[in-house]
Amino acid sequence: QELDEARRWEGACDVGPLDGNMRRWTGLLLPNNPPYNTGAFRFELTFSLHHPLEPPCATLRTPIYHPSVDCEGRVCQPLTTAVHWKPTTRATHVLQDLLLQLDSPDPKRLMRPDVARELQERPEEFRRRAEEHTRLHAEPRPD
């Protein structure tokens, strides 16, 4: 049921189990705003055996120049921490929160302090680098 909901959500496409594993989903996030809206970003959503009592883990598999995503694709996502997680939170909410971070980078959600500092102090340089990184690494957006 959650997978069907995620498949219908317009912020992503090609959402489905990774290698047939229903505890690991993959798909493409489709950012709406520059500097990331020229590409699509592959994500993985991994669910524990205790889901929905425990949050899933979201990872970006497409490299991205972003203050909230480290070089391994780990995301600073407070929604999926034990403090904020509620069993009623849906997988689509996790994906919506992730897309919101891509559309509106928040330098307070830190995984890469150097990139966050650049975003705050030199926003034009940040945007140029993020656009170039997107051009080089993002997947093509579907038609």
Q: Active-site positions?
A: 76
Q: Report d(CA 139, CA 136) in Å as an integer.
A: 9
Residue 22 DSSP code: E
Residue 58's alpha-carbon distances to 93, 97, 135, in angstroms, are 11, 10, 23
Best CA proximity match to 105, nearest among 92, 93, 115, 114: 115
d(C-alpha 28, C-alpha 98), whole Å: 12
Q: What distance in Å separates the CA atoms of residue 79 and residue 98, rounded to the nearest whole number? A: 9
